[in-house]
């Protein structure tokens, strides 16, 4: 199957000046990332805060034009498309942001927010059709009965309901890909599962591919259980592959450390003092990344080569890894209770 989205050696280097006349520093939020997304799949993009996940999501949706590399949609270079093709790409790839309150205009009712894009893009012929479509969208995202929500303003809804409205707005344009950036991190824990299930059902029923961005491995594992996962560290993807495979047998020392940090719902294990397999807990800055492998100052298996040479992404099983020493890294196991 051909990928619907393909990134080839994509980088996003921001320039940041300290003060008005201060020196300019370069921040490599995303560096030399190659990634494919297939129609109808769920890809979880995980990593710690500041590793470049949101920037990568914005590149995929066309909100940021990468400073280097190429982005393809359905095989076509997005930045060589004509206007019609580019508009079709922008409609087909939608983003749902973490903060649904900020994403909705506080002065517009839910009906106004949802009807404006479909009317503007002529996906409906008139206001009667727009009304029917908005009701249908609200039903799809399980805000029922729809009439109860149409005239409400964003502040009159709960966090979970607002996020459902932004999901309804995203699907209103019949997208083929949705980038969901931490969509459940600002909603109540009790409602998170329902939101994840909604995304999984939209993925199935509408064959929409999802890129689920998160720092939380457990929600990533839940939503992408039959999909793939890409793990980011300081602007780079360090390991990617089938979720079940890479989570049961993580090969990159960074992914092993992330998994060791996940709480285990077993009181005996929870009581154990688990030591993170890391040399240092300090995360280097993206403005001044370490030479060689970016993970080397924290990696317990790093050697001279890791300090000097940046590892390439190589094929491993059904996925890829960027680590010089993956063959030497011991097999990771869940801590065992005695």
Ligand X SMILES: Nc1ncnc2c1ncn2[C@@H]1O[C@H](COP(=O)(O)OP(=O)(O)OP(=O)(O)O)[C@@H](O)[C@H]1O
Q: Which residues would be at the binding site for ligand X (CB under 6 A)? A: 14, 16, 27, 29, 47, 49-55, 215, 286
Rg, the chain, Cα only: 21
Q: With respect to ligand X, which residue has the nearer C-beta, 47 or 183?
A: 47
Q: With respect to ligand X, which residue has the nearer C-beta, 179 or 198?
A: 179
For the CB of residue 153, give the shortest distance to ligand X in the complex, in Å: 27
For the CB of residue 215, give the shortest distance to ligand X in the complex, in Å: 6
For the CB of residue 26, give the shortest distance to ligand X in the complex, in Å: 10
Which residues make beta-bridge pairs with 319?
A: 316
DSSP secondary structure string, 33-62? EEEEE-TT-EEEEE--TTSSHHHHHHHHTT
**Gap between the Cα atoms of 167 and 171, Å rounded:** 6
For the CB of residue 48, give the shortest distance to ligand X in the complex, in Å: 7
Prior bond of 151 cis (ω within 30°) = no
Q: Which of 223, 229, 255 is nearest to 241 (CA)?
A: 229
Tokens at 306, concatenated:
């890791």
Q: With respect to ligand X, which residue has the nearer C-beta, 25 or 225?
A: 25
Give the position of tokens 């995304």.
Answer: 199
Torsion on CA atoms 171, 30, 74, 85, rounded to nearest 10: 70
Kindly give the pairing relationship between strand 228-233 and strand 319-321: unpaired
Q: With respect to ligand X, which residue has the nearer C-beta, 12 or 322?
A: 12
Q: Which of 139, 118, 138, 137 is nearest to 127 (CA)?
A: 118
Q: With respect to ligand X, which residue has the nearer C-beta, 152 or 215?
A: 215
Q: With respect to ligand X, which residue has the nearer C-beta, 185 or 325?
A: 185
To which H or E segment does residue 231 belong?
strand 228-233
Give the position of tokens 């805060």.
Answer: 49
Q: With respect to ligand X, which residue has the nearer C-beta, 49 or 126?
A: 49
User: How many other CB atoms sit within 10 Å of the CB of residue 23?
Assistant: 8
Q: Which of 141, 134, 189, 145 is nearest to 162 (CA)?
A: 141
For the CB of residue 224, give the shortest distance to ligand X in the complex, in Å: 17
For the CB of residue 316, give the shortest distance to ligand X in the complex, in Å: 24
For the CB of residue 17, give the shortest distance to ligand X in the complex, in Å: 10
């Amino acid at each position: 199957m051909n990928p619907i989205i393909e990134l080839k050696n994509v980088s996003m280097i921001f320039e940041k000046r300290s003060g008005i006349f201060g020196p300019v520093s370069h921040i490599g939020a995303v560096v030399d990332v190659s990634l494919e997304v297939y129609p109808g799949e769920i890809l979880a993009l995980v990593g710690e805060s500041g590793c470049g996940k949101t920037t990568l999501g914005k590149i995929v949706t066309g909100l940021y034009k990468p400073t280097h590399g190429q982005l393809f949609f359905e095989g076509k270079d997005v930045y060589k498309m004509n206007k019609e093709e580019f508009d079709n790409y922008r409609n087909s790839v939608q983003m749902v942001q973490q903060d649904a309150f900020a994403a909705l205009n506080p002065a517009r009712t839910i009906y106004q927010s949802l009807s404006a894009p479909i009317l503007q893009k002529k996906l409906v012929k008139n206001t009667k059709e727009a009304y029917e479509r908005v009701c249908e969208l609200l039903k799809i995202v399980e805000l029922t009965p729809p009439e109860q929500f149409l005239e409400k303003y964003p502040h009159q809804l709960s966090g979970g309901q607002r996020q459902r409205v932004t999901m309804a707005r995203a699907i209103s344009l019949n997208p083929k890909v949705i980038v969901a950036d931490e969509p459940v991190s600002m909603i109540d824990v009790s409602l998170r599962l329902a939101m994840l299930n909604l995304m999984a059902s939209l993925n199935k029923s509408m064959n929409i591919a999802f890129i689920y961005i998160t720092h939380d491995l457990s929600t990533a594992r839940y939503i992408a259980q039959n999909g793939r996962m890409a793990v980011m560290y300081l602007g780079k993807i360090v390991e990617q592959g089938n979720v079940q495979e890479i989570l049961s047998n993580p090969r990159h020392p960074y992914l092993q450390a992330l998994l060791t940090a996940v709480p285990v719902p077993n009181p005996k294990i929870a009581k154990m003092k688990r030591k993170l397999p890391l040399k240092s807990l300090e995360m280097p800055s993206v403005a001044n990344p370490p030479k060689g492998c970016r993970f080397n100052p924290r990696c317990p298996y790093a050697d001279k080569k890791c300090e000097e040479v940046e590892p390439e992404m190589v094929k491993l099983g059904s996925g890829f890894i960027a680590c010089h020493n993956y063959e030497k890294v011991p097999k990771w196991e869940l801590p065992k209770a005695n």
